[in-house]
Amino acid sequence: MQAAGPAHAAGSAVQSARPRREDAPQLDHALGRLWDELRGLLHDQVLLVSLESRQAFAGLVRVLILAVACAALALGAWAVAMTALLMGLVQTGMSVALALLVVVGATLLLAGGLFWLARRSMRDIAFPATLRRLANAPLPEMPE
């Protein structure tokens, strides 16, 4: 009979782990409250992300407008500077055609340098470390 004792104790432990029928309404109520709280938390997070996204978009639009205004002013300043250079070259005795070629060459040289810099900067936009991580490639060691 002693052998039946531990088996009976294990069986009663399994039965006590199962919810009793009289506990079912309390469990349903607790699960309902948990679900309501999770829904509330999710709603709050989605609302926060939505509000911050709207703020970020408005900030981005503001920055873009300011960047366009800044570019227009810089373009105007560049035109004035190139005109002054052209006039200076002509006053030194250079022909107008040659002075125009010098001004256009300087402008194209600067534009080419800026284009090269922009192309070089494109590498940083592509999320290279994230793509390597997603491809399970080893990350390069960081220089010290």
CA distance 108 to 99: 14
Asked if the model's pLDDT at residue 98 lies above 60, the reply is: yes
Asked if the model's pLDDT at residue 1 lies above 50, the reply is: no
Structure confidence at residue 41 (pLDDT):
83
**Other Cβ atoms closer than 10 A to 99:** 19
CA distance 11 to 17: 10
Per the CB < 8 A criterion, the answer to whether 100 and 89 are in contact is: no
Q: What is the pLDDT of residues 119-140, one digit of tens each?
A: 988 877 777 777 777 787 666 6
Per the CB < 8 A criterion, the answer to whether 118 and 112 are in contact is: no
pLDDT above 70 covers a percentage of the chain that reads 78
What are the residue boundaries of the structural domains of the chain, listed by start?
24-134
Asked if the model's pLDDT at residue 13 lies above 60, the reply is: no
pTM over 0.85: no
Q: What is the pLDDT of residues 21-59, one digit of tens each?
A: 666 778 888 888 888 888 888 888 888 888 888 898 999
Place of tokens 């940083």: 124
